[in-house]
Amino acid sequence: MAKTSPAIADETVRLDMYRMMQEARLFEKRAQDLFLEGLIKGTSHLALGQEAVAAGFAAALRPEDLVFCTYRGHVHTLLRGAPMAALMAELMGRATGICGGKGGSMHLTDVSHGAMGSYAIVGAHMPIAAGAAWAAQERGTGQVVVCFFGDGTTNIGAFHEALNMAVVWRLPVVYVCENNLYMEYTPIGQVTAVEHPAADRASAYGLEPIVVDGNDVEAVHETALRLVERAREGGGPALVEAKTYRHGGHSRADPAKYRPEDEVKEWLARDPIPAYRERLLASGVDAASVDRIEREALETVDRATEEAKAGPFPDPGALETELWADGGSAWRS
C-alpha cells in the first residue's frame, strides 16, 4: 500500500477535490433515498466510500480528456462535469435526463464532457477505451483516456487483451482498477492467484506495478498527475490499482452480510471524506472554507433533486428514436 502522500501545495486544488468528494457522496446518498421513495426504478450500484479515486483523477484531467467507467459510474460521470440535475433526472427516468431517460443508472453518458459511458458488461469498455486512445493518438489531439474498472474485471479476458494492445501501440490510456476487495459478493482473493489483482499482473505487459491508497485523494491525485502527463507526452499506458472499499452492498438489493463486521468497521473508520477534512484543517486550511463547501454541496444536490423531480417522463414515441438499426433486413449486406 502506498504511503500517505505529501500535501499538495495548491490549496485551490485541494479544496476542489474536497468539493468533488462532498458532491459525489451527497449525490449517491440522495440517489439511495430516492430509490427507497420509489422515485428511482430498477437497480443501482453506488460508489459510497470510493469517492477519492474519482476525485483524484478528475482533478488531474483536462476538459478534452475522455473517461470510461463501469455500471458503478454515477460519481465518475458527475465529476467529469456532467450536469447534476440531468444525471439525477436520468436515474429517475425523466425526459430531462442526460440520456433522455433511456439509459438509467448503468448507462450514463455525456460525450460533451468527455464522459464516454458507463458499461454494464464487465470489462467491455476496456478495449473500447484502447480504441479511443488509439484514435486520439492517430489524430494527434493530445487527449488522454482514463478507464475505471473493478477488481473482478482483472479475471476477464478483455482486461488482458486491452492491456496488451495498449502497450504494443503505446496508447495514451491509464487503466484504473478500483479494488474494493469484492467482485459482487465474492472476495477477490478467493478467486485470484495473486494478492494484487491488477498490480501483480502489470509486469506481464511490461508495465510498472502501482498500488495506491484509494482512500487518500492526494495520493491518488499525485499518481494520476504523473501517469496522465506521461501518457500525454507519448510515454504510453499505465495500470493503477487503487485499494478502496464500498460502504454498502454490490447493489441496492444487496445487504452485504457476507462481509465480516470487523472488516467493515475498519474500512468505515478510514472513510476518505472525514479523513480529508481533518487533513485539510490540520494543514491550516480555514475551517470556514471547508464548512462552506459542505453547505454548498448539499444545496447543489437539493436543487438538482427538485429540478429532476419536476422533469416530465419521456413520450412513449421516444422509444423508437436514436436506434442503431430498425431491426429489418434491408441494412444487412
Give 129's Cβ-side CA count (13 Å radius).
35
| More confident site: 9 or 4 | 9
- Give pLDDT, residue 254: 86
Q: What percentage of the chain reaches a pLDDT higher than 70? A: 95
> What is the pLDDT, as a whole number, of residue 2?
46
**Axis-axis angle for helices 51-58, 217-232 (nearest 10):** 40
Report, as an integer, the average pLDDT of 311-328. Answer: 82
Q: How do residues 78-95 score in pLDDT, each as one tens digit? A: 999 999 999 999 999 999
Q: What is the pTM of this model?
A: 0.93
Least confident of 15-29, 122-136, 175-189, 316-330: 316-330
Q: Do residues 127 and 162 touch, judged by C-beta distance below 8 A?
A: yes
pLDDT in tens, 30-65: 999 999 999 998 888 999 999 999 999 999 999 999
Residue 119, strand partner residues: 70
Enumerate domains of the chain plus CATH numbers: 11-306 (3.40.50.970)
Stretch among 64-68, 256-260, 273-277 having the lowest mean pLDDT: 256-260
Task: Tell me the CA distances in angstroms from 12 to 8, 22, 113, 275, 286, one per residue in order.
Answer: 10, 15, 22, 18, 12
Task: Give pLDDT tens digits for 97-115.
Answer: 999 999 999 999 999 999 9
Note the pLDDT of residue 42.
86
Residue 265 main-chain phi, psi, to 5 deg = -60, -40
Residue 279 has pLDDT above 80, yes or no: yes
Rounded distance between C-alpha atoms, residue 106 and residue 161, angstroms:
24
Average pLDDT of every residue of the chain? 94
Average pLDDT on 157-186 reads 97
